[in-house]
Amino acid sequence: MSEEVNNVDGLIVYFSSVSEMTKNFVERVGARSLRVPLRNSEPELIVDEPYVMVVPSYGAGRNTSAVPKQVIKFLNNEQNRKHIKGVIGSGSRNYTGKYCLGARIVAQKCGVDLLYTYELLGLPEDVEEVREIVNEVFRK
C-alpha cells in the first residue's frame, strides 16, 4: 500500500469485480474489511456485526443492472441486511444521472444513508474522507 494506513474503527463489506478497483480503494482506506464473494462457488458471506457497504455501479448506468447480482444475493440474507449502517458508492461520472446508481439503490432499499460517492479508483482525498465517515458511523 502506498498510503499510510490510519486507524479505522468498524467494518467495511464491499464487492469488487475481477478488476479489483473497489478492493484497491478499500485497502487504501485501511479498515477491517470483508469481500462479498465474486463467484457462486465461493462460500456465502454472513456478517454478524455492523458494517458500512462499499458498492460499485455496473451496467452502464441501467437501472436493471446497476447493483451487482452478488450484492443483491448478499443483501437478500436478512442476517446481512440487518447490520448495514450506510453505503458508499463508486462509479463513473460518464453516466451522469446514473452516477453511483447501484449504491443509491442499495441505500434506498435497505433504508440507510448514502454516505459518500467517489469516481473509479478514488483520489487520496476520497480515501481520507471515507476513513473519517466510517469512523464517525461507528462512534454513534
| Residue 6 covered by a domain | no
| Cβ atoms 8, 31 nearer than 8 A | yes
> Is residue 82 in some structural domain?
yes
* Crossing angle of the two packed helices 124-139 and 21-29, in degrees rounded to 10: 60
Cell for 33?
A: 474489511
How many domains does the structure of the chain reveal?
Answer: 1
In a domain, 135, yes or no: yes
pLDDT of residue 60: 54
d(CA 140, CA 137): 6
CA distance 137 to 90: 19
**CATH, residue 131:** 3.40.50.360
Tens digit of each residue's pLDDT, the chain (140 residues): 334 445 778 999 999 998 899 999 999 999 999 999 999 889 999 999 999 999 998 765 455 678 999 999 999 999 999 999 999 999 888 776 788 899 999 999 999 999 999 998 899 999 999 999 999 999 87
pLDDT at site 59: 60
Could you tell me if residue 5 is inside a domain?
no
Please check whether residue 15 is in contact with residue 70, taking contact to mean a CB–CB distance below 8 angstroms: yes
Establish if 77 belongs to a structural domain: yes
Which domain covers residue 125, as residue numbers?
11-139
In a domain, 2, yes or no: no
Contact 86/137 with Cβ under 8 angstroms?
yes
Identify whether 16 is part of a domain. yes
Domain-embedded: residue 93: yes
Residue tagged 448514502 (cell numbers): 114
